[in-house]
Amino acid sequence: MKTLREYIKQAEEKGVAIGHFNISNLEGLRGIYNAAKKISALGGSAFGGKLPVIIGLSEGEEKFVGRAEGVALINAIRNRDNYPIFLNADHHSSFESVKNAIDAGFDMVIIDGAKLSFEDNVKITKECVDYARSVNKDTGRDVLVEAELGYIGSGSDIKDTIPEGAGILTTPKDALKFVQDTGIDLFAPSVGSIHGLIKSGKPHINADLVTEIKKVTGIPLVLHGGSGLRDEDFTNAIQAGISVVHINSEIRLADRDAVKKAIEENPNEIVPAKILQPAVDAIEKIVYERLKLFNGVK
């Protein structure tokens, strides 16, 4: 099987994006994996056979699922099915938590210093990159490090309005300096999206800015805050140079609503598998559509 780095390279070359979806429970993992397998079976993706997919665990999600448990789940599926499913430590905010994730066996990590000053963001990111490189050298693994510059708001939740300070776009000049100073593998710039579902609407992606940042940095770019964006925002962004797209809030909402509906419709049901299956199905439906779009599958 190819490494995650190789799959991302392939996505870059083919002008498609790998889907990154966060989980908090088995329903999420099953829904996402079912969707990825179904699209793989359709054929016609840029990857030829099995469609790669990345599962994200933020610090909070990792705490709830369990760090070792998350790694064990993803590795078990990958090894059993020989399927390119990978695990990312999403939005980790300290060197310690990044180090713990790397040591536990995550395939990639995101050090999120977006709220820090440029200098402090570079400093903490560099520390994480150096650690990942040393682990890779000692173990033969290839843990990837991503970092974010330009605050796009925190939390995959429902927001009334765009949070203060969020949405300031990353300049190509800062992007280049940040990438050069840190040596990261993937870069998450602020290009118009905001984390979460915004009640008052979702801003558009500035695809020209994506093109410029891609041109100057030359490394794979990641789009965060995908929930609620229109299809053409995704396709334009991917065409402009986005190689990984993150979705979380849409999954959380679908999960919550499906369970709520199942309980309301059958208040005497107490078998978890029966109450929770609709959540798996609802998540699968969302991820299926997103993955088709990201990968140009008709």
- Tokens representing 107 are 């395939």
295 near ligand G3H (CB under 6 A): no
Span 204-243, contacts to Zn ion by CB under 5 A: 224
225 near ligand G3H (CB under 6 A): yes
Specify the residue, 74 or 247, whose C-beta has the smaller distance to ligand G3H.
Answer: 247
195 near ligand G3H (CB under 6 A): yes
- Tokens representing 153 are 């708001």
Asked if 128 contacts 145 with a C-beta cutoff of 8 angstroms, the reply is yes
Q: How far is the CB of 91 from Zn ion (least distance, A)?
A: 6
248 near ligand G3H (CB under 6 A): yes
217 near ligand G3H (CB under 6 A): no
> Interior CA angle at 49 toward 47 and 51, to 5°?
60
- How many angstroms separate the CA atoms of 251 and 196, rounded? 11
Among 213, 249, 294, 295, contact with ligand G3H (rule: CB under 6 A) = 249
Q: Which does 191 bind (CB under 5 to 8 A by kind): Zn ion, ligand G3H, none?
A: none
Q: How far is the CB of 195 from Zn ion (least distance, A)?
A: 6
Helix 207-217 with 231-240: angle, nearest 10 deg: 20
Site mask for ligand G3H (CB under 6 A), range 9-48, x = bound: -------------x--------------------------
Active-site option among 81, 90, 233, 255: 90
Among 50, 224, 290, 292, contact with ligand G3H (rule: CB under 6 A) = 224
Closest CA to 251 of 64, 25, 63: 25
167 near ligand G3H (CB under 6 A): no
Residues binding ligand G3H: what is the number (CB under 6 A)? 16
Q: Which does 107 bind (CB under 5 to 8 A by kind): Zn ion, ligand G3H, none?
A: none
- How many angstroms separate the CA atoms of 110 and 20, rounded? 12
Q: What is the CA radius of gyration of the chain?
A: 18
Q: Exposure of 16 by Cβ count < 10 A (0-12 exposed, 13-18 middle, 19+ buried)?
A: buried
Sign of CA dihedral 237, 243, 248, 250: positive
What backbone torsions phi and psi does residue 88 show, to the nearest 5 degrees? -115, 135
- How many angstroms separate the CA atoms of 112 and 156, rounded? 15
Among 53, 98, 102, 247, contact with ligand G3H (rule: CB under 6 A) = 247
- How many angstroms separate the CA atoms of 244 and 19, rounded? 6
Is 281 among the catalytic positions? no
Question: Residues in the site for Zn ion, rule: CB under 5 A?
Answer: 224, 246
Task: Please list the active-site residues.
Answer: 90
Question: Residues in the site for ligand G3H, rule: CB under 6 A?
Answer: 22, 56, 90-91, 156, 195-196, 224-227, 246-250
